[in-house]
Each structure stands twice: as structure tokens, then as C-alpha cells.
Amino acid sequence: MNCPNCGGGSIRRSRLRWSDTAFLVFLLLRPYRCRECYARFFRSVVRRRPRSLHEGVSP
């Protein structure tokens, strides 16, 4: 995962703030913070499954 602000790869989970709680629980988002530029951003808890090379290909 890279920071959307600076593109850095040093990311850590950030604490939930009281004002974020209801919003984040509803949308299944988690806060992260970049260790390089200190930007705070959110990512989905639900991960997308990568498409298989054989998925959708007819023999």
C-alpha cells in the first residue's frame, strides 16, 4: 500500500477518532497514516480478489 499523497510506502494504521467512528464502521473503512508526509487517509476493510488469468476465458 502506498500513500495517495506522496506515494511513500511507509504506512501505519492510525487511531480512530471519536468523530470518525460511526462513519467508518458504516462504510467499513480503516484509517492509515503515512510515516513520510504524515497524511491521513482511509482504505476499505474489504479486499478485492485478484482476477485469475483463466477467469472468463473460453477454451
Q: What pairs with residue 43 in β-bridges?
A: 30
DSSP the chain: ---TTT--S-EEE-PPPTTTHHHHHHHTEEEEEETTT--EEEEESSPPPPPPTTTT---
Model pTM score:
0.66
- pLDDT < 70 regions, the chain: 48-59
pLDDT at 57: 54
pLDDT at 46: 79
Asked if residue 38 lies in contact with residue 15, where contact means CB atoms within 8 angstroms, the answer is: no
pLDDT at 2: 93
